[in-house]
Amino acid sequence: MARVLGIDEAGKGPVIGPLVICGYSLDEKKEHKLRGLNVKDSKMLAPARRAFLEKKLKKIADDFLVVKIPAQKIDVLRTNTNLNKIEIKHMQHIIDAMGNDKVIIDAIEADISKFARKITSKLKNKNINIIAENYADKNYPVVSAASILAKVERDRAIEKLHKIYGFFGTGYPSDERTINFLKAYLEKNNRFPACVRKSWITAQVIKKEKEQQTLLSFQGR
């Protein structure tokens, strides 16, 4: 039996908080333990269930690695690259660090063959068996496990930010509470907090709207 590594991420789209990528390593002969826990894509589980499973999954794992990329680092990296390339680089780092025989990744691009080639291109060991699939977090228990650990870590980071800045919802652009928080914080402080991805179009639009309102107010004097 091979040691299999599942990789998934949480927090790719939010305007607030870190991107979290997890590698979860397990001997294939122990996969039945994951099925026994009925692990699923983290988005299909309630927060309390994810938190319960996190403890169980860490005990079952042969190894795991969770990488957090904070908002400020994402903004810096995005000055000369894109988010997919940032994710791929960190996935490659996880694969090299974990040293598994087989890797299953929840692919972040539609062309899964091309995505798999991108992953392999910079690996130290080019002979690793890479399986990249869309929705792998739903079809492979080891990827579901990685999904859960990544999501719990992301949720934990957001909870800490809520304690610092007050409740702002999920941090996703689709969340009205998040948008209201960004507008109010910018209005009061004339800047966004460090946890905001300032390179996101959402943050840029809100900032531009404030600048236009300030200009109109000045012209109306």
Mean pLDDT for the stretch of residues 127-155: 95
Give yes or no for residue 199 having a pLDDT over 80.
yes
Mean pLDDT for the stretch of residues 165-179: 97
Give yes or no for residue 218 having a pLDDT over 80.
no
Give yes or no for residue 8 having a pLDDT over 80.
yes
pTM above 0.75, yes or no: yes
Lowest mean pLDDT among 74-83, 119-128, 211-220: 211-220
Instruction: Report the pLDDT value the prediction gives residue 175, as an integer from 0 to 100.
Output: 97
The H or E element spanning position 208 is helix 201-219
Residue labelled with tokens 């990744």? 105
Rounded to the nearest integer, the mean pLDDT of the chain is: 94
Mean pLDDT for the stretch of residues 19-40: 93
Alpha helices in 66-200 (DSSP H): 71-77, 83-98, 112-121, 136-139, 141-165, 176-189
Is 169 buried (19+), middle (13-18) or exposed (0-12) by CB count in 10 A? middle
Domains belonging to the chain, first-starting first, are 3-162 (3.30.420.10), 166-215 (1.10.10.460)
The separation between the first and the last C-alpha atoms of the chain, rounded to the nearest angstrom, is: 75
Give yes or no for residue 160 having a pLDDT over 90.
yes
Lowest mean pLDDT among 4-8, 21-25, 135-139: 135-139
By three-state DSSP, how is residue 90 classified? helix
Q: From CA 152, how far away is CA 43, in angstroms rounded?
A: 11
Instruction: Report the pLDDT value the prediction gives residue 217, as an integer from 0 to 100.
Output: 62
For the chain, give the percent of residues with pLDDT over 70.
96
Mean pLDDT for the stretch of residues 146-164: 97
Mean pLDDT for the stretch of residues 13-18: 98
Q: Measured at the alpha carbon of residue 85, what is the angle toward residues 179 and 104, in degrees to the nearest 5? A: 100
